[in-house]
Amino acid sequence: MLTPDRISLNTATVREQWSLAECIEGCQRHGLGGISPWRDKLQEMGVTKAAQAIRAAGLTVTGLCRGGWYTAEGRLTPAVKDDNRRAVDEAAEIGADCLVMVVGGLADGSRDLPGARAVVEDGLADTLDYARGQGVKVAIEPLHPMYAADRACVNTMGQALDICDRLGEGIGVACDVYHVWWDPDLKAQMRRAGPDRLMAYHICDWLVPTRDFLTDRGMMGDGVIDLPLLAGWAAEAGFEGLHEVEIFSAEDWWRRDPDEVLATIVERAANVC
């Protein structure tokens, strides 16, 4: 039962319809408390101009999506490191609560999952070192195991927190219910993360059936995730931030009037979250 000021809009939710400027205006119009831009939309608007507009609108920036993809070139290259440092700079400029990391999966043609995980940890260490200097927090987003090969080889909260334990201060997790709702260890791992390391909390729903691996996420209430239960666990773990709505939905929500999408988010936040 969330009021609109407890909700943040991840721009992916209306990425087919709105520019970042339109997202900012939409958040204001619907009374949302925050926004989380993707880098493509941020760069399109211009980082400085976007930062000013977000501040003027009084929106909390719950995250910047996204850094990571450390395995994109098979090994940790200067280009990959540099791109992540630019992401840190952008996160700093817009005052994002954290830089969300989708870490990358197996390199092309590789079957070496332990190797990919080692590359990812080296990459995170490099980005974290730079991010500490810029005052930016780094949030690993564990992705659903169905993305282990092609998007992210960090697949559970426990695995992400093990990395955080090894890397130290300034790094935590972005917990997206879509990726972790199935995990029997979820409650315990939220508690283990605690308020300092539970840096972002993303919501949507898991549809049954799910028709596409990437772009068939559901609006809250349309699927099977017990959102109030999980929100309770996050609160017990000390999370007090906004709930960020991130819905990839090629056949449904990306085709609707974006004001209808935001109105629906506000209604569902009040009634099913």
Which residues contribute to the site for a copy of itself (CB under 8 A)?
A: 106, 110-113, 117, 144-146, 148-150, 153, 155-156, 159, 181-184, 206, 208-210, 213, 224-226
* CB of 186 vs a copy of itself, minimal distance in Å: 10
**Closest CB to a copy of itself among 126 and 216?**
216
Backbone phi, psi, residue 33, to 5°:
-85, -20
Q: CB 213 → a copy of itself: shortest distance, Å? A: 6
Nearer of residues 58 and 228 to a copy of itself, judged by Cβ: 228
Q: Which is nearer to a copy of itself, 74 or 145 (CB)?
A: 145
CA–CA gap between residue 104 and residue 75 (Å, rounded): 11
* Angle, vertex CA 194, rays to CA 245 and CA 165, nearest 5: 110
Please state the closest distance from residue 240 (CB atom) to a copy of itself, in A: 25
Orientation of helix 186-197 relative to helix 227-236, angle to 10°: 50
DSSP H/E element including 140: strand 138-140
122: exposed, middle or buried (Cβ count in 10 Å: 0-12, 13-18, 19+): middle
Kindly state the smallest distance separating residue 149's Cβ from a copy of itself, in Å: 5
Q: Which is nearer to a copy of itself, 13 or 155 (CB)?
A: 155
Closer CB to a copy of itself, 178 or 254, in the complex: 178
* Cα 226 from Cα 148, distance rounded (Å): 24
The residue with tokens 């400085």 is: 48
In angstroms, what is the minimal distance from the CB of 103 to a copy of itself?
13
**CB nearer a copy of itself, residue 78 or residue 111:** 111
Cα-based distances in Å from 36 to 15, 51, 60? 12, 12, 8
Peptide bond into 209 cis (omega under 30): yes
Peptide bond just before 111 cis, omega within 30 deg: no
